[in-house]
Structure 1
Amino acid sequence: MSESPRRAPVRAVVIGGSIAGMLAAAAVKEHVDSVEIVEAHELPEGPGPRTGVPQAVHIHFLQSGGAEAIETLLPGTTGLLLAAGAHRVPVTSNMVIYSPEGWYRRWKRATHYVITASRDLTDSVVRGQVLKDHRVGVRTHTRAVALLGGRRRVTGVRVRGVDGTERELRADLVVDASGRASRMPQWLAELGITGLTEDHVDSGLAYASRFFRAPVPTAGWPVVGVQADPRLPRPANAGGILPVEGDRWHVSLMGAPGAHPTGDPDAFEAYARTLRHPVMADLLKHAEPLTDVSVTHSTANRRHHYERLTPWPEGLVVLGDSVAAFNPLYGQGMSAAAQGAVALRDVYAAGPAPGLARRAQRAIGTCVDTAWTLAVGTDIHFPTTTGRTPTVADRLLHRYVSRLSRTATGSFHAATALTDVLALQAAPASLVRPGVLLTALVGPLRPRPDRPQFTPAERGLLRELEEADGSAR
């Protein structure tokens, strides 16, 4: 009896060692024989800073939709994050948030949660989970410079080492997860694929962030935030305090043109006092700064519509910030990338078939839709925004969502409808279901809270801090 011919190994190459790149590797590793991640920089051992990720110095959190997506790809990741000091914060039960419509009510029932941790820790835990699989390897200090193949099929990538030497990496699947700096539009044009459309909406927001030693126990301490109100006749600004590992607070302040925060450490608390409410400044005066202030102006929303391109080559998928990068104000980037990776896995689980990469790209585009709608649908209402102006329909929808948000301060049903969408677990269209429309029409069933919603125990800790500071003076 003659032996059947041996199947050639199936190989995937992932461009970028970002969290999106790691999740891409996790998504496809069950369907190929090997995955090689090509990374331009060194990857740290443990939760250290990674070169090429300037946004890591600003606050990050995983929405429950993103955390659950990561858990399906890498079971046990949430537990490892929590064991390393991350926090699981119920929404909105453990949040002190001042929205344009008023203070969020801290409902006793929580329908969603966020995982708060430094970006370095989240990257490290995900990276460790992925790289413990023998099928996944990393080629560091190597930059992808071109695609191999043609209009109908991509067959690998050309890479360049630090010494300038170039070589070809052949692959049955190439996933671009190289982030905002992706050169995919140029690479496709070199293959003769043109007509790519791009949306670019920029509110002009700048970020200033630093870490503090928390003056209170961080276990169970709420997320604190003051949101911007586009209706006010002044440049928008906002801020947030997240409890993270190491008994620290990670604090970010954001401001539009005319109200940009600076890198001056002496001005950090003072800037927090210019927000719509001084709650953050009142907390920061008790906290010990641990780092300098880091500033970034790269906060534009940008989306490439790869899912619309025809033809789309077999063997190529684009994921994460390479597809769509969001204003970090809304905390959706990691979660959207994780959901895109799950979509990639699910498409490839169906087995090889013509048009597989195109179906995966369309599924990833669908995952991006909700986060894109939320970010852009808010940013277009700031007067400093460029790239798109609100239509009459946009203004009507904004007024409706504002009414629903005001209702949510005194209606659990309204609050749940909103958080379903914000957690990336329901589409924005769910906000206009008949039951939600009726809830918004009725309005809040309880009076709106008139002050920060700290619990009695939290207020007791804050009084102790005030008394200790008074005694020290």
Structure 2
Amino acid sequence: MARVAVMGGGIGGLGTALMLGRRGHTVTLFEQDPRQAGDDPDQDFHDWARPRVPQAVQPHSFLAPVRTVLRAEAPDVYEDLLARGAREYHDFDWFDRHPPHRPGDEDLVTLRTRRIVLEAALAAAVRREGAVEVRGGRRVDGLTFEAGAPTRVTGVRTGEETHRADLVVDASGRRSRVPGWLTEAGCRPPVVESHRTGIAYLCRWYRLRPDGPRDPGRVQNGSSAPFALAGVFPSDNDTFALHLVVSTGDPTRGALTDPAVFEAAARRFPATAAWLDLDPEPRSAVLAMAGLDNRWTSLTDAEGPVVAGLVNVGDSLLHTNPTLGHGVAMGLRAAQHVAAHADRIAADPTAYHDWTAEALRPLFDAQVTADRGHEQRLAEGAAPAEEALDGTAPPEGTPEGPAEDATPADLRVAARSACAFDDPVVMRARAQVRHLLLTADEAYGTEEVQRHLTAWLDARPEFTPGDDGPTREEWNTLTRV
């Protein structure tokens, strides 16, 4: 069994520490923030200042791998998560009746909850785990090294203390200082690939009133205009968030931080208007997040691992903007892999790096490609991409008008999501892609799905992809630009 030091007490660090401890490893978790998520999610969510974790107050939808990993590794955490108010949503819940079950359908479930609720359930389990020691309020200031080929990390430094470990796991997030420490120690530099997204997010949280309406009706969770996306994220304990996404260069971006302007804009999209019509209680200011990028930090290069005794998970390994909701899912998958192979990884991290390249890198590349499309679309008012917020797409019909030069192949791609909300066979394929279970080619490329898609298009010869949100002129008027 290995002695493991985990740097960072976010979801990736908590999950890694818990799974390692339950496999018999001795784990010390270092987190510089002295506070942990507790039993009052509203107080933690609204009153805990976390400048290093700006995504903590942004809405989340946790995809199938989150549920799958927790049920396999920590079923008590999963049950606690539900007891704290998280809700399951199956993609087939859109229909009045689920189609006949097929193997794998049981995994097409989104967990609807705020991030803080998942953190609280994980933190509570870690506190119960005897093999894990949590050192809160202890910032890791550096690493200790031993000469070798490659150099080996032998522990971490906190102030004047040194903590030796067979394996150090960097789960300190997107602002990790580990790459700099490795370079200063004379290691070959980690390979960092970064892509700016040019996308700004603005959200506002609400709670349904106890004596008020609660059903928004049959409405999709995403809407779009050529220059903006809108979405709703139903969450735990009667809370939900509305989200607007614009280009960082959009001149209306600043105006949207005004709650009155934000709501006026949100009311012009069917998805978000339906929830505002429930007269919910606002629970936050408009929360903005920009400066987003997709970054992959590899601790291996063409010559092999740049260091031994150290691996990265979560946002320290890769972080993506929240468009497709991949972050926590990929973080827990990496945590599970480290826990399952800790002794081997401590001896030689090569296999772990190979696994991340095979299992996670394609998802990162897909996010980069999707974000390039979103950025171009929002900046230039291009034709809508197939997938919008929360994996949804704008419904057919548009006040802006269709793209006139769409090819038959383009129409088939654009029709996937629209068809999915009518046809459970295509919805299954859409869900398999959204939940990171299959690639788009694998899910949509089957003869059955293609046959259903063809039948749907044949019944709608006038179908063109489009938007359901406001025109640019309407948008400029309501944002006073």
Task: Please give the TM-score of this superposition, normalised by the length of structure 1.
Answer: 0.77
User: What do residues 127-151 of structure 1 show as CA deviations (whole Å, max 9, x unaligned)?
Assistant: 1122210111111222222221143
Q: Is the 8 A contact 1:86 1:244 kept in 2?
A: yes
> What is the CA distance between 1:17 and its match in structure 2?
0.3
Indicate yes or no: 2:278 matched with 1:266: no
User: Which AA in structure 1 matches 2:429?
Assistant: A
> What is the CA distance between 1:178 and its match in structure 2?
0.7
Inter-partner Cα distance in structure 1 for 2:96 and 2:329: 23
Inter-partner Cα distance in structure 2 for 1:335 and 1:220: 28
Aligned residue pairs total: 413
Inter-partner Cα distance in structure 2 for 1:27 and 1:67: 15
**SS in structure 2 at match of 1:24:** helix
Inter-partner Cα distance in structure 2 for 1:42 and 1:292: 26
* Residue ranges of structure 2 left out of the alignment (5+ in a row): 379-405, 468-481
Indicate yes or no: 2:87 matched with 1:87: yes
Aligned to 1:288: 281
Distance 1:198 1:431, change over 3 A: farther
> What is the CA distance between 1:201 and its match in structure 2?
2.3
User: Which AA in structure 1 matches 2:257?
Assistant: G
Task: Please give the TM-score of this superposition, normalised by the length of structure 2.
Answer: 0.76
Aligned to 1:381: 373
Aligned to 2:122: 126
> What is the CA distance between 1:357 and its match in structure 2?
2.2
Distance 1:23 1:200, change over 3 A: same
User: Which AA in structure 1 matches 2:15?
Assistant: L
> What is the CA distance between 1:117 and its match in structure 2?
1.0
Q: Is the 8 A contact 1:224 1:280 kept in 2?
A: no
Indicate yes or no: 2:314 matched with 1:323: no
Q: Is the 8 A contact 1:12 1:32 kept in 2?
A: no
Indicate yes or no: 2:112 matched with 1:116: yes
User: What do residues 8-59 of structure 1 show as CA deviations (whole Å, max 9, x unaligned)?
Assistant: x842110000000011112322455421111111223333245332211111
Aligned to 1:444: 456
Inter-partner Cα distance in structure 2 for 1:306 and 1:384: 31
Q: Is the 8 A contact 1:217 1:247 kept in 2?
A: no
Aligned to 2:400: none
Q: Is the 8 A contact 1:239 1:272 kept in 2?
A: yes
Distance 1:15 1:218, change over 3 A: farther
> What is the CA distance between 1:300 and its match in structure 2?
1.8
Indicate yes or no: 2:277 matched with 1:278: no
Aligned to 2:172: 178
* Residue ranges of structure 1 left out of the alignment (5+ in a row): 1-8, 95-104, 161-165, 387-394, 453-473
**SS in structure 1 at match of 2:119:** helix
> What is the CA distance between 1:340 and its match in structure 2?
1.2
User: What do residues 398-424 of structure 1 show as CA deviations (whole Å, max 9, x unaligned)?
Assistant: 876434334434433322122112112
Indicate yes or no: 2:138 matched with 1:146: no
Indicate yes or no: 2:299 matched with 1:306: yes
Q: Is the 8 A contact 2:174 2:319 kept in 1?
A: yes
Inter-partner Cα distance in structure 1 for 2:89 and 2:421: 19
Find 1:34's aligned residue among 2, 19, 26.
Answer: 26
Q: Is the 8 A contact 1:370 1:427 kept in 2?
A: no
> What is the CA distance between 1:432 and its match in structure 2?
6.1
User: Which AA in structure 2 matches 1:108?
Assistant: H
Find 1:239's aligned residue among 220, 224, 230.
Answer: 230
Distance 1:117 1:223, change over 3 A: farther
User: What do residues 424-447 of structure 1 show as CA deviations (whole Å, max 9, x unaligned)?
Assistant: 222445246443673476252766
Note the aligned Cα RMSD (angstroms): 3.4
Inter-partner Cα distance in structure 2 for 1:179 and 1:330: 19
> What is the CA distance between 1:170 and its match in structure 2?
0.9
Inter-partner Cα distance in structure 1 for 2:223 and 2:362: 20
Inter-partner Cα distance in structure 2 for 1:42 and 1:406: 47
Distance 1:222 1:70, change over 3 A: farther
Q: Is the 8 A contact 2:202 2:245 kept in 1?
A: yes
